Amino acid sequence: MRKIALVFPGQGSQKVGMGQGWAERSAAARATFEEADEALGFALSRLVREGPEEELTLTANTQPAILATSVAILRGLDEEGSDLSPAAVAGHSLGEYTALVAVGALELGDALRLVRRRGELMQEAVPAGEGAMAAVLGLDAAAVEGIVADAQGDDGVLAVANYNAPEQTVVAGHVAPVERAVGLARERGAKRAMTLPVSAPFHSPLMAPARRGMTPLLDAADFRDPSVPVVVNVDARPVEHGPELRDALVRQIDGAVRWVESVERMAGEMGIELFVEVGPGAVLTGLVRRIAPGAGALSLADPSGLGKLAEALGTEGGGAG
Protein backbone atom coordinates (compact mmCIF):
# COMPACT_ATOMS: atom_id res chain seq x y z
CA MET A 1 0.00 0.00 0.00
CA ARG A 2 1.40 3.40 -0.99
CA LYS A 3 1.82 5.94 1.78
CA ILE A 4 -0.80 8.65 1.19
CA ALA A 5 -1.27 12.29 2.16
CA LEU A 6 -4.56 14.10 1.68
CA VAL A 7 -4.21 17.76 0.70
CA PHE A 8 -7.00 20.34 0.70
CA PRO A 9 -7.16 23.48 -1.48
CA GLY A 10 -7.66 27.07 -0.41
CA GLN A 11 -9.17 30.22 -1.83
CA GLY A 12 -8.86 30.52 -5.59
CA SER A 13 -10.10 27.02 -6.38
CA GLN A 14 -13.78 27.99 -6.19
CA LYS A 15 -16.22 27.88 -9.09
CA VAL A 16 -19.99 27.77 -9.37
CA GLY A 17 -21.11 24.15 -9.46
CA MET A 18 -18.10 22.76 -7.60
CA GLY A 19 -18.71 19.45 -5.89
CA GLN A 20 -22.04 18.88 -7.64
CA GLY A 21 -20.90 15.68 -9.33
CA TRP A 22 -20.31 14.29 -5.86
CA ALA A 23 -23.58 15.69 -4.51
CA GLU A 24 -25.49 13.93 -7.30
CA ARG A 25 -23.69 10.65 -6.66
CA SER A 26 -23.41 10.57 -2.88
CA ALA A 27 -25.97 10.93 -0.09
CA ALA A 28 -23.12 11.70 2.31
CA ALA A 29 -21.95 14.57 0.12
CA ARG A 30 -25.49 16.00 -0.11
CA ALA A 31 -25.89 15.72 3.64
CA THR A 32 -22.64 17.66 4.13
CA PHE A 33 -23.96 20.62 2.15
CA GLU A 34 -27.19 20.49 4.18
CA GLU A 35 -25.16 20.47 7.39
CA ALA A 36 -23.27 23.54 6.15
CA ASP A 37 -26.52 25.39 5.47
CA GLU A 38 -27.72 24.65 8.98
CA ALA A 39 -24.42 25.62 10.62
CA LEU A 40 -24.24 28.97 8.83
CA GLY A 41 -27.92 29.85 8.80
CA PHE A 42 -28.17 30.51 5.05
CA ALA A 43 -28.30 28.49 1.83
CA LEU A 44 -24.60 28.09 1.14
CA SER A 45 -25.40 24.97 -0.90
CA ARG A 46 -27.53 26.98 -3.32
CA LEU A 47 -24.77 29.57 -3.72
CA VAL A 48 -22.27 26.80 -4.49
CA ARG A 49 -24.66 25.11 -6.89
CA GLU A 50 -26.11 28.13 -8.71
CA GLY A 51 -23.99 31.21 -7.94
CA PRO A 52 -23.94 34.02 -8.84
CA GLU A 53 -20.16 33.90 -9.22
CA GLU A 54 -19.71 37.47 -7.93
CA GLU A 55 -21.32 36.47 -4.64
CA LEU A 56 -19.47 33.14 -4.40
CA THR A 57 -16.10 34.89 -4.84
CA LEU A 58 -16.67 37.20 -1.86
CA THR A 59 -14.07 36.05 0.67
CA ALA A 60 -16.61 35.49 3.45
CA ASN A 61 -18.56 33.15 1.15
CA THR A 62 -15.68 31.54 -0.69
CA GLN A 63 -13.98 30.21 2.41
CA PRO A 64 -16.90 28.22 3.86
CA ALA A 65 -17.95 27.18 0.35
CA ILE A 66 -14.59 25.56 -0.42
CA LEU A 67 -14.45 23.96 3.02
CA ALA A 68 -17.96 22.49 2.68
CA THR A 69 -17.25 21.24 -0.83
CA SER A 70 -13.99 19.60 0.19
CA VAL A 71 -15.59 17.83 3.17
CA ALA A 72 -18.52 16.74 0.97
CA ILE A 73 -16.05 15.15 -1.46
CA LEU A 74 -14.17 13.48 1.40
CA ARG A 75 -17.37 12.01 2.81
CA GLY A 76 -18.41 10.92 -0.65
CA LEU A 77 -15.11 9.06 -0.94
CA ASP A 78 -15.74 7.39 2.40
CA GLU A 79 -19.17 6.32 1.19
CA GLU A 80 -17.55 4.78 -1.90
CA GLY A 81 -15.37 2.67 0.38
CA SER A 82 -12.18 4.26 -0.94
CA ASP A 83 -9.33 2.93 1.17
CA LEU A 84 -7.33 6.11 1.68
CA SER A 85 -6.05 5.80 5.29
CA PRO A 86 -3.72 8.79 5.02
CA ALA A 87 -0.43 8.94 6.88
CA ALA A 88 -0.62 12.76 6.93
CA VAL A 89 -2.83 15.65 5.85
CA ALA A 90 -2.20 19.27 4.91
CA GLY A 91 -4.20 22.18 3.55
CA HIS A 92 -3.20 25.32 1.71
CA SER A 93 -4.21 28.36 3.79
CA LEU A 94 -8.00 27.98 4.23
CA GLY A 95 -7.52 24.29 3.38
CA GLU A 96 -5.80 23.76 6.72
CA TYR A 97 -9.21 24.07 8.39
CA THR A 98 -10.52 21.34 6.08
CA ALA A 99 -7.55 19.17 6.98
CA LEU A 100 -8.41 19.52 10.67
CA VAL A 101 -12.01 18.47 10.02
CA ALA A 102 -10.77 15.49 8.00
CA VAL A 103 -8.72 14.14 10.91
CA GLY A 104 -11.24 14.85 13.68
CA ALA A 105 -9.43 17.80 15.22
CA LEU A 106 -12.29 20.22 14.53
CA GLU A 107 -16.03 19.74 13.98
CA LEU A 108 -17.38 20.76 10.58
CA GLY A 109 -19.91 23.23 12.00
CA ASP A 110 -17.25 24.96 14.10
CA ALA A 111 -14.85 25.09 11.16
CA LEU A 112 -17.50 26.59 8.87
CA ARG A 113 -18.39 29.33 11.34
CA LEU A 114 -14.71 30.07 11.96
CA VAL A 115 -13.80 30.42 8.29
CA ARG A 116 -16.89 32.49 7.59
CA ARG A 117 -15.71 34.97 10.21
CA ARG A 118 -12.10 34.58 9.07
CA GLY A 119 -13.13 35.66 5.58
CA GLU A 120 -14.98 38.69 6.93
CA LEU A 121 -12.07 39.75 9.14
CA MET A 122 -9.52 39.32 6.37
CA GLN A 123 -11.65 41.40 4.04
CA GLU A 124 -12.09 44.11 6.68
CA ALA A 125 -8.42 44.23 7.72
CA VAL A 126 -7.29 46.50 4.88
CA PRO A 127 -9.44 49.18 3.19
CA ALA A 128 -10.32 48.41 -0.43
CA GLY A 129 -7.64 49.54 -2.85
CA GLU A 130 -4.84 49.78 -0.28
CA GLY A 131 -3.50 46.23 -0.47
CA ALA A 132 -2.40 43.91 -3.25
CA MET A 133 -0.82 40.55 -4.00
CA ALA A 134 1.43 39.55 -6.89
CA ALA A 135 2.76 36.26 -8.21
CA VAL A 136 6.35 35.87 -9.41
CA LEU A 137 7.09 32.93 -11.71
CA GLY A 138 10.48 31.76 -12.94
CA LEU A 139 12.62 32.99 -10.03
CA ASP A 140 13.55 30.96 -6.95
CA ALA A 141 12.38 31.91 -3.49
CA ALA A 142 15.71 33.48 -2.50
CA ALA A 143 15.55 35.80 -5.51
CA VAL A 144 12.01 36.86 -4.60
CA GLU A 145 13.03 37.44 -0.99
CA GLY A 146 15.76 39.73 -2.33
CA ILE A 147 13.21 41.60 -4.43
CA VAL A 148 10.98 42.03 -1.37
CA ALA A 149 13.91 43.50 0.56
CA ASP A 150 14.79 45.89 -2.27
CA ALA A 151 11.19 46.97 -2.94
CA GLN A 152 10.51 48.01 0.66
CA GLY A 153 9.92 51.70 1.22
CA ASP A 154 8.33 54.28 3.46
CA ASP A 155 5.04 53.92 1.60
CA GLY A 156 3.99 50.57 2.96
CA VAL A 157 4.54 46.95 3.95
CA LEU A 158 5.70 44.11 1.68
CA ALA A 159 6.27 40.44 2.51
CA VAL A 160 6.38 36.99 0.98
CA ALA A 161 2.91 35.49 1.41
CA ASN A 162 3.04 32.10 -0.30
CA TYR A 163 5.89 29.76 -1.19
CA ASN A 164 3.78 27.77 -3.65
CA ALA A 165 6.32 25.99 -5.87
CA PRO A 166 10.09 26.14 -6.45
CA GLU A 167 9.66 28.99 -8.95
CA GLN A 168 6.24 30.32 -7.97
CA THR A 169 6.17 32.74 -5.05
CA VAL A 170 3.50 35.24 -4.05
CA VAL A 171 4.14 38.57 -2.34
CA ALA A 172 1.62 40.78 -0.54
CA GLY A 173 1.40 44.20 1.05
CA HIS A 174 0.51 47.78 0.24
CA VAL A 175 -0.08 48.58 -3.43
CA ALA A 176 3.01 50.72 -4.10
CA PRO A 177 5.69 48.28 -2.87
CA VAL A 178 3.85 45.35 -4.51
CA GLU A 179 3.96 47.20 -7.82
CA ARG A 180 7.67 47.94 -7.32
CA ALA A 181 8.28 44.27 -6.63
CA VAL A 182 6.54 43.32 -9.88
CA GLY A 183 8.78 45.73 -11.79
CA LEU A 184 11.95 44.46 -10.12
CA ALA A 185 10.96 40.84 -10.77
CA ARG A 186 10.57 41.55 -14.47
CA GLU A 187 13.92 43.35 -14.56
CA ARG A 188 15.60 40.39 -12.84
CA GLY A 189 14.39 37.77 -15.26
CA ALA A 190 11.05 36.50 -13.99
CA LYS A 191 9.09 34.59 -16.62
CA ARG A 192 5.97 36.31 -15.35
CA ALA A 193 5.21 38.81 -12.60
CA MET A 194 1.69 40.10 -12.18
CA THR A 195 -0.70 41.39 -9.59
CA LEU A 196 -3.49 38.99 -8.65
CA PRO A 197 -7.25 39.62 -8.71
CA VAL A 198 -7.71 39.24 -4.96
CA SER A 199 -9.56 41.43 -2.51
CA ALA A 200 -6.92 41.74 0.23
CA PRO A 201 -3.18 41.16 0.92
CA PHE A 202 -3.56 37.76 2.60
CA HIS A 203 -0.77 36.20 4.68
CA SER A 204 1.04 39.49 5.16
CA PRO A 205 1.58 41.66 8.25
CA LEU A 206 -1.39 43.76 7.08
CA MET A 207 -3.60 40.89 8.25
CA ALA A 208 -2.71 41.63 11.90
CA PRO A 209 -6.21 43.01 12.63
CA ALA A 210 -7.74 39.78 11.33
CA ARG A 211 -5.38 37.78 13.52
CA ARG A 212 -6.44 39.79 16.56
CA GLY A 213 -10.09 39.25 15.69
CA MET A 214 -9.72 35.50 15.12
CA THR A 215 -7.61 34.73 18.19
CA PRO A 216 -10.44 34.75 20.77
CA LEU A 217 -12.69 32.77 18.41
CA LEU A 218 -10.03 30.11 17.91
CA ASP A 219 -9.30 30.09 21.64
CA ALA A 220 -12.97 29.35 22.31
CA ALA A 221 -13.20 26.53 19.75
CA ASP A 222 -12.78 22.87 20.69
CA PHE A 223 -9.58 21.51 19.14
CA ARG A 224 -8.80 17.82 19.59
CA ASP A 225 -5.71 15.81 18.77
CA PRO A 226 -5.80 14.72 15.11
CA SER A 227 -5.99 11.07 14.11
CA VAL A 228 -2.90 11.56 11.89
CA PRO A 229 -0.30 14.37 11.77
CA VAL A 230 -1.24 17.69 10.17
CA VAL A 231 1.63 19.41 8.36
CA VAL A 232 0.91 23.07 9.15
CA ASN A 233 1.52 26.00 6.81
CA VAL A 234 3.44 28.34 9.07
CA ASP A 235 6.09 25.87 10.23
CA ALA A 236 5.97 23.18 7.49
CA ARG A 237 6.11 20.51 10.19
CA PRO A 238 3.76 17.76 11.38
CA VAL A 239 1.62 18.58 14.40
CA GLU A 240 -0.22 16.00 16.51
CA HIS A 241 -1.78 18.02 19.34
CA GLY A 242 -4.93 20.16 19.27
CA PRO A 243 -3.52 23.23 21.08
CA GLU A 244 -0.62 23.41 18.62
CA LEU A 245 -3.05 23.23 15.71
CA ARG A 246 -4.99 26.16 17.16
CA ASP A 247 -1.78 28.17 17.52
CA ALA A 248 -0.79 27.39 13.92
CA LEU A 249 -4.13 28.69 12.63
CA VAL A 250 -3.66 31.94 14.57
CA ARG A 251 -0.17 32.51 13.20
CA GLN A 252 -1.16 31.47 9.68
CA ILE A 253 -3.43 34.50 9.22
CA ASP A 254 -0.57 36.98 8.87
CA GLY A 255 2.24 34.47 8.26
CA ALA A 256 3.53 32.95 5.03
CA VAL A 257 2.17 29.69 3.63
CA ARG A 258 5.24 27.43 3.35
CA TRP A 259 3.76 24.97 0.88
CA VAL A 260 7.04 24.00 -0.81
CA GLU A 261 8.64 23.01 2.49
CA SER A 262 5.46 21.24 3.60
CA VAL A 263 5.34 19.02 0.51
CA GLU A 264 9.09 18.42 0.60
CA ARG A 265 8.84 17.26 4.20
CA MET A 266 5.95 14.93 3.45
CA ALA A 267 7.62 13.46 0.35
CA GLY A 268 11.00 13.27 2.11
CA GLU A 269 11.29 12.36 5.77
CA MET A 270 7.60 11.37 6.08
CA GLY A 271 7.81 9.03 3.09
CA ILE A 272 4.58 10.09 1.34
CA GLU A 273 4.33 8.44 -2.09
CA LEU A 274 0.91 9.67 -3.24
CA PHE A 275 -0.75 13.07 -2.70
CA VAL A 276 -4.54 13.06 -3.14
CA GLU A 277 -6.14 16.49 -3.53
CA VAL A 278 -9.64 16.50 -2.02
CA GLY A 279 -11.60 19.58 -3.02
CA PRO A 280 -12.52 21.69 -6.03
CA GLY A 281 -9.97 22.11 -8.80
CA ALA A 282 -6.49 20.68 -9.15
CA VAL A 283 -4.22 23.57 -8.12
CA LEU A 284 -2.40 21.62 -5.41
CA THR A 285 -1.96 18.58 -7.66
CA GLY A 286 -0.04 20.78 -10.10
CA LEU A 287 2.06 22.32 -7.34
CA VAL A 288 2.90 18.92 -5.82
CA ARG A 289 4.08 17.61 -9.19
CA ARG A 290 6.51 20.52 -9.44
CA ILE A 291 7.72 20.27 -5.84
CA ALA A 292 7.98 16.47 -5.56
CA PRO A 293 8.09 15.02 -9.10
CA GLY A 294 8.95 11.58 -7.73
CA ALA A 295 5.64 11.30 -5.90
CA GLY A 296 2.24 10.61 -7.40
CA ALA A 297 -0.45 13.29 -7.32
CA LEU A 298 -4.09 13.28 -8.36
CA SER A 299 -7.26 15.31 -7.87
CA LEU A 300 -10.70 14.10 -6.84
CA ALA A 301 -12.64 17.25 -7.68
CA ASP A 302 -15.31 15.10 -9.32
CA PRO A 303 -16.11 11.37 -9.33
CA SER A 304 -14.33 10.85 -12.64
CA GLY A 305 -11.12 10.76 -10.60
CA LEU A 306 -12.14 7.55 -8.85
CA GLY A 307 -10.73 5.39 -11.61
CA LYS A 308 -7.33 7.08 -11.36
CA LEU A 309 -7.44 6.70 -7.60
CA ALA A 310 -8.15 2.96 -7.88
CA GLU A 311 -5.29 2.63 -10.36
CA ALA A 312 -2.92 4.58 -8.12
CA LEU A 313 -3.86 2.46 -5.12
CA GLY A 314 -3.70 -0.76 -7.12
CA THR A 315 -7.27 -1.65 -6.19
CA GLU A 316 -10.23 -2.87 -8.21
CA GLY A 317 -13.43 -0.90 -8.73
CA GLY A 318 -13.89 2.76 -7.91
CA GLY A 319 -15.02 3.68 -11.41
CA ALA A 320 -16.97 6.84 -12.02
CA GLY A 321 -20.03 5.05 -13.41
Please name which of 32, 116, 15, 40 lies closest in space to residue 73, comparing C-alpha atoms.
Answer: 32
Let me know if 103 is exposed, middle or buried by CB neighbors in 10 A (0-12, 13-18, 19+): buried
Which one of 45, 92, 174, 203 is the catalytic residue? 203
Which one of 45, 93, 204, 262 is the catalytic residue? 93
Q: What are phi and psi of 88, to 5 degrees?
A: -160, 160
The set of long-range contacts for 306-315, using a CB threshold of 8 Å and a minimum separation of 24, is 306/80, 306/82, 309/82, 309/276, 312/2, 312/274, 313/1, 313/2, 313/83, 313/274, 314/2, 315/83
Active site residue 70: no
Active site residue 93: yes
Vertex 122 angle, CA 42 and 221, to 5°: 65
Q: Which three-class secondary structure state does DSSP give residue 6?
A: strand
Please identify every residue annotated as catalytic: 93, 203
